[in-house]
Amino acid sequence: MRYLMHFLLPFLAVFLQSTVFGFYSIKGTLPDMVLVFVVFFSVINGAAKGTVYGFLCGLLEDLYLGRFIGINAISKALTGFLVGKLQGGFFRENFFIGALAVAIGTLLNALILLLLSRLAFASFHIDKQFFTAVFYQFIYNVILAAPLYGWYYRSSRAGLLRLSREN
């Protein structure tokens, strides 16, 4: 049931991003809810689990999009890993940690996407508009993360999202 809930969150995120958030975009930019959940998961469950979760969530998004399948899987896996590693020095229960981690995660994810597009995939166009989109996505993700993290943290400790006893 708990694993199902963790799968349903990115599934719901893709659904909301493709429908509801389309009507509430900031300057045509959508938030990355899948990334928000990957970051939350990594903050609470650590780098190793965060990497696997990031990879699976990114893959779901890639399969839905149908092009460059794997690009989001790699970027979100690496973001999950890095956020999990960075989290070590902070208190997970702190309300602001969620928003801060999402802010860092959004920038890391953008940087990884930029590197991947430059490294290997000439037809994956990322240019001037990319930085504008990242700026608005950064704001949007942080706005969403602030209220969501409290619920996510509580559910991970004692609710539907709790993976194991030590959490």
Partner 1 sequence: MPGLFKNKVFWLCILVLIITFTLIRATSSEREDITLVERMLREVYAPLQSSVTEMRDYFSGPRSIFSQKADLNEKISEQEEEIAKLNLENQVLREYEAEVKRLRVLFNFSSNNLDKYSLSAARVIARSPDNWLETIIIDKGSVDGIKKDMPVITPKGLVGRIGSVSEHASQVNLITDREIAVGATLQRSRNTSGIVEGMVEGSLLKMINIPYYASVKPNDMVITSGLSEVFPPGIDIGAIYEVTEEPNGLLLSATVIPTVDFNKLEEVLVITDYTPVTEAESVPEEPMAEEE
Residues that bind partner 1 (CB under 8 A): 13-15, 17-23, 28-30, 32, 55, 60-61, 63-74, 113, 116, 120-121, 123-130, 133, 137
Residue with smaller CB distance to partner 1, 1 or 119: 119
As measured in angstroms, the least distance from the Cβ of 34 to partner 1 is: 8
Q: Which residue has the tokens 């990957």?
A: 38
Q: Tell me which H or E stretch contains 154.
A: helix 128-158
As measured in angstroms, the least distance from the Cβ of 57 to partner 1 is: 12
Local structure of 29: helix, strand or coil? strand
Residue with smaller CB distance to partner 1, 69 or 104: 69
Residue with smaller CB distance to partner 1, 72 or 156: 72
Whole-number Å distance between alpha carbons of 146 and 139: 11
Other CB atoms within 10 A of residue 51 CB: 22
Residue with smaller CB distance to partner 1, 133 or 163: 133
Length of the chain: 167
